[in-house]
C-alpha cells in the first residue's frame, strides 16, 4: 500500500472528527481520578461497531493517547494524578503550581507528551516486526530482572531511604494478598471474598493519591489555597527549553518506547524509570520534587511514548501488551480483523491507516491541550471546598467502577486515611505503588524461572543468566544500583554544605 | 469548560445508577459478564462477541469484566457468589469449573451455576515452540520418554493443565507444567521459546503458526474443518479427546421470568449471522447449544472427565 492512498484514507472529515472526539474524551476521562483510557475505551467501544474498522480504531486510539495526557492536568493543578502514570508529574508539577507557574507546568506537560507520542508512534510505524520479536525474548528471567530494576528506582526518589524502603515493602506486601497465581494457595485472605480476589492497583492509587490529598485539604483555610495567577509565558519558550535539555526528551521517549513493549508493567515502569534518570541527569539547579520541569518532561514524554509501543506486540503477534490494547484487540476481532503477522498482508488498508492515523491523534492531543491549558488552569479559581467533594465523588465512583465492588471502595478509603498519615510523616507514596505493580511480576516470574531451571536440571542462577539479554539486564540492575548510591551520596554532601554555610 | 464536560460525560453513569434493582421488566440496568481469565484469550473473545450481540438484543449495555487469577477459580467463585438477579453473568470455558471443583478446595460446586447456553466446541491441542526440534508427536514423545521431567508445558487454566497431564500420562512421559495467567501470555512464552510446548485450545493455532510455532495435534474425534492439516491425537495412536466449550452461566437460583428472558434472548441471537461470522473470524468453531442441550452435554462430559481427573489427582495437587 503506497503512502498516497494511505493519506487519501486519512484526510477525510470523518477521520478528523473521530480523532479529535476520541482525544477529547481521553483527556477528560484521563483527568478524572479513577477513570483512565481503558475505561473510556470500553465505554465507547459499542459505538465503534457500526463504524468502518479503521475509523473505529482511531477513535479508540485517540482515547488511549488523550487518556495518557489527561491524567497530568489534575496532577499539576490540584496534586491529584488522574492515573498512576501521572504520579511523577504531580511530584514536580504541583510545586510549580504552588509557585504560581501552573500554566508553565501545563505547557511542559503537553509539549513533552507531544514529543513522546510522536516517538512512540513513529517507532510503531517503522519498527513493528523487529520490536515484536525483541519483546518475545523477555522470558521469566528477563521479566524478573526488569521488574527488579523498577524497585531500585525507588532509591532514586527524594527523602529518607529508610522510609522509601518501608513504603516499597508495604507495596510488595499489599500485592501478596489474595490467591497466589502459580499455586492457587490463599494468602492473607481471612476467608474474605474481597481479599481473595486481591487488592488491585486502581483503588490503591486512588486511596494514596486522591483520597489522601483531599483529606488533607479538608479544614484548610482559603488563604492557604493556591491562587490562580495569569502567568505570562509563551508556548515557544517552553518548547525551546524542552529541546535545549540535551537529549532529555528523546531519551525519555525512547525509554518509554522500549519499556512500553513489555506486557503488564510497561507504562508504570517506563514513567518512573525516565523520571529517575532525569533526576540523575538534570542540569538545572532546582531540586527534584520542588518543581523541576525536567521531571515533567521525562515522565510525560515516556508515558505518551508507551501508547505506540504497547501496540507493537498486539499488531505484530496478536498478543496484547496492556489492558487498553487488549480491549482494542477485542474491538478488532468484532470487526473480523485477525491480528498477527497476517494483518499487514490481509488488511493493509486497516493496518496502515490506523498506524499513520495514530500520528493524527498526537496532533489532535497537542492542539486540544495547547488551546485548553488556559481553561484548565481556571480550576484554580474554584474554591477548595467545591473541589474536594467533587473529586471525592469521582474517586468513589472510579474505585467502584473497576469491578463493581464496594470492597475496592473501602480499600481506597482506608488507604486514603493511611496515605494522609504517611504524607504527614513524610513517607513517600510513589514507592508503595511501585511495590504493588511490580510485586506480582517479580514473584510469578521468579517462580516460573525456578520451575524451568528445575526441569532443565540447572541451578537457578545459571538459568537466570542464560541469555545475553538477561546478562545485560543484570548489568543494568547493577549500574542503576551504583548510580542511585552515588546520587544519594552527592545529595548528602550537598545537604552538609548547605548546613555548614 | 472542563467541569461541564465532566458533567456531560458522567450523565450516562448517573442515569444507569438511578435505574436500580426493581426488576419489573428485566433488564433495567447494565449487565456485567465476568470472565475469569485475562483479556485477549479465547474465553474473553467469546464473552465480548456474545456480550455485544446480547446487549443489543436486551437493550442494555453488557460490560465484560476480566477477573483472572488462580486458573479461573477467582472469577468463577465470584460468579457463583453473585446475586442471582440476572445482572451478573459469566462466560468461561467448561470444564474449568468442573476440574477446579474436583482438584481444589473450591467454595463452588457444579450446581452453584445455572448453565444457559454454550457457544463453541473447541478441541485442546499441543503446540511446539518455533525452535523445537520436534515436528511430530512421535519425535516429541520419544524425546520426552528419554528425558523425564525435562519437557516444559505451559498452560493457562485448569483444563490446560489437565490436558497436559492426560497427554503426558497417555504417552508415558513425565512433564513439568507451568502456569500462565492467560492465553496471550502463554502464547508469548511459547513463541519466545521460553517453554517447549503449550497446552491450549485450537483457537491459538493461527497466531502460533504465523510465528513459526508447530501444531503437534488436536485432542479431537476427527480433524477440524478449520485446520484440515493438523492431525488428531487419535490418528497418531494416542487416545485423548478433550475440549473446551464456552458456556454462558448465571448464579443458580435466577427468578423464572429473568431466566426465561435470558434464554429467549440467547436463542434469538444464536442464529445471528453477523455474530457467527465474528466467531469464525476469531478462529472459534461456533456451535450453539440451548439451555436444555447444554445441560445434557455437560452431564455426559462430566462422566467422561471424572476418571481422567481422578487418575491424575496427585499430579494436579502437586502442582
Chain segment B198-207, per-residue pLDDT in tens? 999 887 888 8
Q: Please answer yes or no on whether B184 and A320 come within 8 Å at the CB atom.
A: yes
Contacts of B188 in chain A (CB under 8 A): 135-136, 263, 313, 317, 319
In the prediction, which pLDDT does B319 show?
45
What is the nearest CA distance from B260 to chain A, expressed in angstroms? 25
Q: Please answer yes or no on whether B194 and A327 come within 8 Å at the CB atom.
A: no
Contacts of A32 in chain B (CB under 8 A): 6, 9
Contacts of B77 in chain A (CB under 8 A): 193, 196
Contacts of B191 in chain A (CB under 8 A): 136, 317, 319
How confident is residue B23, by pLDDT bands cut at 50, 70 and 90? very low
In the prediction, which pLDDT does A336 show?
67
Report yes or no: A197 at the B interface, CB cutoff 8 Å: yes
In the prediction, which pLDDT does B24 show?
57
Q: Please answer yes or no on whether A320 and B277 come within 8 Å at the CB atom.
A: no
What is the nearest CA distance from B197 to chain A, expressed in angstroms? 12
Q: Which residues of chain A have pLDDT under 50?
A: none
Q: Please answer yes or no on whether A333 and B210 come within 8 Å at the CB atom.
A: no
**Parallel/antiparallel/unpaired status of strands B88-94 and B31-35:** parallel
Any alpha helices (H) in A137-205, and if so which ranges? 140-153, 161-176, 193-196, 201-205
Contacts of A140 in chain B (CB under 8 A): 194
What is the nearest CA distance from A270 to chain B, expressed in angstroms? 20
In the prediction, which pLDDT does A35 show?
75
Reported ipTM: the value is: 0.81
CA-based nearest residue to A478, from A152, A203, A230: A152
Q: Please answer yes or no on whether A323 and B39 come within 8 Å at the CB atom.
A: yes
Q: Give the SS3 label for residue A443.
A: helix
Q: Please answer yes or no on whether A319 and B187 come within 8 Å at the CB atom.
A: yes
- Report, in this order, helix, strand and coil percent for chain A, each rounded to 5: 75, 0, 20
What is the nearest CA distance from B68 to chain A, expressed in angstroms? 9
Report yes or no: A350 at the B interface, CB cutoff 8 Å: no
Report yes or no: A403 at the B interface, CB cutoff 8 Å: yes
Cβ atoms of residues B283 and B203 within 8 Å: yes
Any alpha helices (H) in A139-292, and if so which ranges? 140-153, 161-176, 193-196, 201-205, 212-217, 235-244, 248-260, 266-281
- Identify the structural domains of chain B with CATH numbers, from first to last: 29-121+243-310 (3.40.190.150), 123-242 (3.40.190.10)
Contacts of B32 in chain A (CB under 8 A): 404
Cβ atoms of residues B34 and B149 within 8 Å: no
Q: Distance between CA A49 and CA A39 in Å, rounded?
A: 17
Contacts of A43 in chain B (CB under 8 A): 12
Q: Please answer yes or no on whether B69 and A198 come within 8 Å at the CB atom.
A: yes
What is the nearest CA distance from A233 to chain B, expressed in angstroms? 22
Instruction: Name the residue facing A334 among B52, B77, B152 (closest C-beta).
Output: B52
CA-based nearest residue to A35, from B52, B13, B1: B13
In the prediction, which pLDDT does A264 show?
63
- Is the confidence at residue B213, as pLDDT, over 90? yes
Q: Please answer yes or no on whether A330 and B48 come within 8 Å at the CB atom.
A: yes
What is the nearest CA distance from B19 to chain A, expressed in angstroms? 16
Rounded mean pLDDT, B87-104:
90
Best B12, B40, B108, B180 member to test A by mutation, with max A CBs in 10 Å, is: B40
| Region class of A436: left (phi > 0), else alpha (psi between -120 and 50), else beta | alpha
Contacts of B63 in chain A (CB under 8 A): 42
Scanning every residue of chain A, which has its alpha carbon at the shortest distance from the alpha carbon of B148?
A455
Contacts of B174 in chain A (CB under 8 A): none
Report yes or no: A498 at the B interface, CB cutoff 8 Å: no
- Is the confidence at residue B292, as pLDDT, over 90? yes
| Region class of A121: left (phi > 0), else alpha (psi between -120 and 50), else beta | alpha
The CA distances from residue B23 to B12, B27, B86, B212, in Å, are 20, 7, 9, 52
CA-based nearest residue to B293, from B316, B319, B270: B270
What is the nearest CA distance from B189 to chain A, expressed in angstroms? 6
In the prediction, which pLDDT does A161 show?
86
- Is the confidence at residue B22, as pLDDT, over 80? no
Does B309 or A299 have the greater pLDDT score? A299
| C-alpha angle B53-A337-A68 in degrees, rounded to nearest 5 | 85
**Torsion angle (degrees, nearest 10) of CA A176, A182, A185, A190:** 30
pTM recorded for the entire structure? 0.82
Stretch among A156-160, A472-476, B42-46, B246-250 having the lowest mean pLDDT: A156-160
Q: Please answer yes or no on whether A455 and B150 come within 8 Å at the CB atom.
A: yes
Q: Please answer yes or no on whether B281 and A337 come within 8 Å at the CB atom.
A: yes
CB proximity list for A26: less than 8 A, separation 6 or greater:
A37, A40, A62, A63, A64, A65, A66, A67, A68, A69, A70, A365
- Is the confidence at residue B12, as pLDDT, over 60? no
Instruction: Name the residue facing B191 among A180, A317, A454 (closest C-beta).
Output: A317
What is the nearest CA distance from A394 to chain B, expressed in angstroms? 9
Query: Hey, where are the domains in chain A?
Result: 3-500
Cross-strand partners of B93: B246
What is the nearest CA distance from B259 to chain A, expressed in angstroms? 22
Best A318, A350, A391 member to test B by mutation, with max B CBs in 10 Å, is: A318
Contacts of B49 in chain A (CB under 8 A): 333-334
Scanning every residue of chain B, which has its alpha carbon at the shortest distance from the alpha carbon of A141?
B194
- Is the confidence at residue B318, as pLDDT, over 70? no
Q: How many CB pairs under 8 A join A and B?
A: 160
Q: Distance between CA A320 and CA A311 in Å, rounded?
A: 7
Scanning every residue of chain B, which has its alpha carbon at the shortest distance from the alpha carbon of A394?
B10
CB proximity list for A305: less than 8 A, separation 6 or greater:
A116, A117, A119, A120, A123, A252, A253, A254, A255, A256, A257, A260, A270
Q: Give the SS3 label for residue A284.
A: coil
pLDDT digits (tens, 9 = 90+) for A11-40: 888 899 999 999 999 999 888 877 777 777
- Is the confidence at residue B10, as pLDDT, over 60? no
What is the nearest CA distance from A458 to chain B, expressed in angstroms? 11
Q: Distance between CA A66 and CA A26 in Å, rounded?
A: 4
What is the nearest CA distance from A447 to chain B, expressed in angstroms? 9
Q: Please answer yes or no on whether B69 and A178 come within 8 Å at the CB atom.
A: yes
Cβ atoms of residues B311 and B169 within 8 Å: yes
CA-based nearest residue to A47, from B235, B55, B103: B55
Q: Please give the mean pLDDT across all residues of chain B.
A: 86
In the prediction, which pLDDT does A205 show?
87
In the prediction, which pLDDT does B15 show?
45
Q: Which of residues 69-88 of A touch B (CB under 8 A)?
A: 73
Q: Please answer yes or no on whether B188 and A319 come within 8 Å at the CB atom.
A: yes
- Quick one: cell of A479? 549500574
Residue A407 CA from chain centroid, whole number: 25
Contacts of A451 in chain B (CB under 8 A): 152, 176, 178
Amino acid at each position: 500500500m503506497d503512502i498516497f492512498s494511505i493519506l487519501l484514507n486519512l484526510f477525510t472529515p470523518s477521520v478528523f472528527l473521530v480523532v479529535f472526539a476520541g482525544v477529547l474524551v481521553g483527556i477528560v476521562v484521563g483527568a478524572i481520578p479513577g477513570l483512565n483510557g481503558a475505561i473510556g475505551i470500553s465505554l465507547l467501544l459499542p459505538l465503534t461497531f457500526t463504524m468502518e474498522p479503521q475509523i473505529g480504531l482511531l477513535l479508540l486510539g485517540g482515547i488511549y493517547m488523550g487518556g495518557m495526557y489527561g491524567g497530568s492536568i489534575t496532577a499539576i493543578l490540584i496534586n491529584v494524578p488522574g492515573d498512576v502514570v501521572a504520579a511523577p508529574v504531580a511530584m514536580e508539577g504541583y510545586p510549580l503550581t504552588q509557585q504560581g507557574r501552573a500554566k508553565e507546568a501545563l505547557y511542559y506537560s503537553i509539549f513533552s507528551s507531544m514529543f513522546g507520542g510522536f516517538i512512540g508512534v513513529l517507532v510503531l510505524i517503522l519498527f513493528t516486526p523487529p520490536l515484536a520479536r525483541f519483546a518475545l525474548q523477555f522470558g521469566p528471567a528477563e521479566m524478573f530482572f526488569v521488574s527488579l530494576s523498577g524497585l531500585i528506582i525507588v532509591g532514586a526518589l527524594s527523602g529518607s531511604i529508610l522510609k522509601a524502603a518501608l513504603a516499597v515493602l508495604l507495596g510488595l506486601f499489599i500485592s501478596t494478598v489474595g490467591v497466589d497465581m502459580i499455586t492457587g494457595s490463599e494468602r492473607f485472605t481471612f476467608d474474605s471474598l474481597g481479599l481473595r480476589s486481591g487488592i488491585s492497583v486502581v483503588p490503591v492509587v486512588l486511596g494514596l493519591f486522591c483520597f489522601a490529598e483531599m483529606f488533607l485539604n479538608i479544614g484548610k483555610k482559603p488563604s492557604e489555597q493556591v491562587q490562580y495567577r495569569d502567568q505570562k509565558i509563551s508556548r515557544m519558550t517552553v518548547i525551546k527549553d524542552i529541546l535545549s535539555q540535551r537529549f532529555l526528551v528523546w531519551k525519555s521517549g525512547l525509554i518509554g518506547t522500549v519499556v512500553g513493549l513489555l506486557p503488564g508493567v510497561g507504562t508504570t515502569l517506563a514513567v518512573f524509570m525516565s523520571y529517575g534518570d532525569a533526576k540523575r541527569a538534570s542540569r538545572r539547579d532546582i531540586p527534584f520534587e520542588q518543581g523541576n520541569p525536567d521531571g515533567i518532561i521525562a515522565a510525560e514524554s515516556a508515558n505518551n511514548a508507551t501508547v505506540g509501543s504497547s501496540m507493537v506486540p498486539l499488531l505484530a503477534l496478536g498478543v496484547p501488551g496492556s489492558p487498553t490494547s487488549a480491549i482494542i484487540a477485542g474491538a478488532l476481532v468484532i470487526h473480523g480483523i485477525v491480528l498477527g503477522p497476517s494483518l499487514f498482508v490481509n488488511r493493509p488498508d486497516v493496518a496502515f491507516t490506523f498506524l499513520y492515523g495514530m500520528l493524527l491523534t498526537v496532533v489532535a492531543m497537542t492542539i486540544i491541550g495547547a488551546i485548553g491549558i488556559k481553561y484548565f488552569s481556571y480550576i484554580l479559581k474554584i474554591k477548595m471546598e467545591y473541589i474536594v467533594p467533587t473529586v471525592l465523588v469521582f474517586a468513589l465512583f472510579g474505585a467502584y467502577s473497576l469491578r463493581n465492588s464496594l470492597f475496592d471502595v473501602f480499600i481506597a478509603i482506608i488507604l486514603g486515611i493511611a496515605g494522609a498519615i504517611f504524607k504527614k510523616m513524610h513517607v513517600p507514596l510513589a514507592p508503595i505503588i511501585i511495590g504493588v505493580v511490580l510485586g506480582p511480576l517479580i514473584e510469578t516470574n521468579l517462580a516460573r524461572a525456578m520451575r524451568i531451571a528445575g526441569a532443565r536440571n540447572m541451578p537457578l542462577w545459571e538459568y537466570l543468566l542464560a541469555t545475553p539479554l538477561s546478562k545485560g539486564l543484570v548489568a543494568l540492575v547493577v549500574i542503576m544500583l551504583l548510580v542511585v548510591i552515588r546520587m544519594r551520596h552527592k545529595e548528602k554532601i550537598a545537604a552538609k554544605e548547605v548546613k555548614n554555610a | 469548560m472542563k467541569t461541564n464536560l465532566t458533567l456531560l460525560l458522567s450523565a450516562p453513569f448517573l442515569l444507569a445508577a438511578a435505574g436500580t434493582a426493581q426488576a419489573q421488566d428485566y433488564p433495567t440496568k447494565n449487565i456485567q459478564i465476568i470472565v475469569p481469565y485475562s483479556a485477549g484469550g479465547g474465553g474473553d473473545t467469546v464473552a465480548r462477541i456474545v456480550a455485544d450481540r446480547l446487549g443489543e438484543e436486551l437493550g442494555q449495555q453488557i460490560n465484560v469484566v476480566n477477573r483472572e487469577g488462580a486458573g479461573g477459580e477467582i472469577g468463577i467463585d465470584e460468579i457463583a457468589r453473585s446475586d442471582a438477579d440476572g445482572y451478573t453473568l459469566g462466560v468461561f470455558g467448561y470444564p474449568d469449573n468442573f476440574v477446579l471443583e474436583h482438584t481444589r478446595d473450591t467454595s463452588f460446586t457444579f450446581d452453584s451455576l445455572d448453565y444457559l447456553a454454550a457457544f463453541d466446541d473447541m478441541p485442546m491441542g499441543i503446540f511446539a515452540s518455533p525452535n523445537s526440534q520436534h515436528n511430530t508427536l512421535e519425535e516429541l514423545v520419544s524425546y520426552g520418554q528419554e528425558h523425564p521431567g525435562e519437557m516444559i508445558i505451559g498452560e493457562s487454566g485448569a483444563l490446560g493443565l489437565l490436558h497436559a497431564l492426560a497427554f503426558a500420562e497417555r504417552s508415558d512421559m513425565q512433564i513439568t507444567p507451568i502456569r500462565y495467567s492467560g492465553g496471550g501470555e502463554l502464547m508469548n512464552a511459547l513463541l519466545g521459546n521460553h517453554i517447549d510446548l503449550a497446552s491450549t485450545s485450537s483457537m491459538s493455532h493461527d497466531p502460533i503458526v504465523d510465528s513459526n510455532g508447530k501444531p503437534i495435534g488436536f485432542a479431537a474425534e476427527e480433524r477440524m474443518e478449520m485446520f484440515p492439516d493438523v492431525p488428531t491425537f487419535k490418528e497418531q495412536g494416542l487416545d485423548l479427546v478433550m475440549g473446551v466449550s464456552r458456556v454462558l452461566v448465571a448464579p443458580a437460583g435466577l427468578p423464572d421470568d429473568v431466566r426465561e428472558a435470558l434464554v429467549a434472548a440467547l436463542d434469538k441471537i444464536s442464529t445471528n449471522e453477523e455474530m457467527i461470522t465474528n466467531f469464525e473470524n476469531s478462529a472459534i468453531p461456533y456451535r450453539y447449544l440451548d439451555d436444555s442441550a447444554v445441560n445434557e452435554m455437560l452431564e455426559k462430559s462430566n462422566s467422561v472427565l471424572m476418571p481422567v481427573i481422578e487418575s491424575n489427582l496427585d499430579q494436579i495437587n502437586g502442582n
